[in-house]
Amino acid sequence: MRKVPTEPGQQEGLQGGEAAPGDASFRAPAQPRASVLHREETRVEYAGAFQVHEVPALRLSGFRRSGLNQAYVKQPELQMGGLPTWWSEDGRYFIYFAEEYRHWKVNALRSGGGDGMRAVRPGGLRAGRGFAHSGALGLGPERSTRTAALEALCHAEGWFEVSAGEWEPLQPELSAARAWALELDASSMSSEELLACGEDSSRERRSGGPCRLRGLRFTGATGGRVALFLPAVSGALEEELVFPAQAAGDQTPEDGEAEEDVGPGASGDPDVLLLEPLRESRL
């Protein structure tokens, strides 16, 4: 390795832009400075009325897929097939009414290893798919679809679960459970997102309203884990600074090229935030 002359007052360099041994911070001439993520912070404020009330829940157990074995609560705001969906304690699994098959199906968010809500809706790429399904509805002249659907969901006979790609019959245990809904009707909301990468930073502010937040708690009205369903962030963008590297790398798909369905909310799934209570230290 041969040293090359430098300007007066500077240290001698290495030919070819090679790094000296142990010099992890070396940058070749004209090479951009590497950005390291130092900080990522999001703050959201809601103003409105808050209330807590008990809601009915259904506990499933006996399935081979362990994630299905938990309690579920009805979510009136998230409907499919003309009926409300039911959501699990961890906010990952949901039970929906597959109108075409006239029974209930259990699936999961895409982030939880499932197909997601958009894909299983009527006309979706995976419409009517799931990990398990209930027995079919038994309709009579004096029974509404809603009543018959609730009976089918709570009836242990007629259930099937996917095993090695095949539907296998099983009889799960279904029991009533207790849960509490935490609801906030917000008249307004504001959010601020801050990203700092090395010397680059961006700040994004949004505002909007009204909106509703709904959380589900299964262990008690005042304690335990909460699955919080977040509303979609809307409102005008007040300020946005874009990283130079991002601006230079932005590209749009060419004609006929499908754009990849990625990013928060791209699957049509609700944003669910799982909140764990703080545990006191024993030290």
79 vs 20, residue with greater confidence = 79
Burial class of residue 73, CB neighbours in 10 A (0-12, 13-18, 19+)? buried
How much is the average pLDDT of 247-264?
34
DSSP line for 1-52: --EE---TTS--EEGGGPPPTT-TT---TTPPPPP-EEEEEEEEEEEEEEEE
Q: How confident is the model at residue 138 (pLDDT cuts 50, 70, 90)?
A: confident
Domain ranges for the chain: 39-232+270-275
Mean pLDDT of the chain: 76
165-209 pLDDT per residue, tens = 899 999 999 999 999 999 988 888 888 988 888 778 889 998 887
What pLDDT does residue 221 have? 60
Burial 138-161 (b: 16+ CB within 10 A, else e): eeeeeeeeeebbbebbeeeeebbb
pLDDT at 15 over 60: no
204-235 pLDDT per residue, tens = 998 887 888 889 998 766 667 889 988 765 44
pLDDT at 241 over 70: no
70 vs 279, residue with greater confidence = 70
Q: Distance between CA atoms of 202 and 89, rounded to whole angstroms?
A: 35
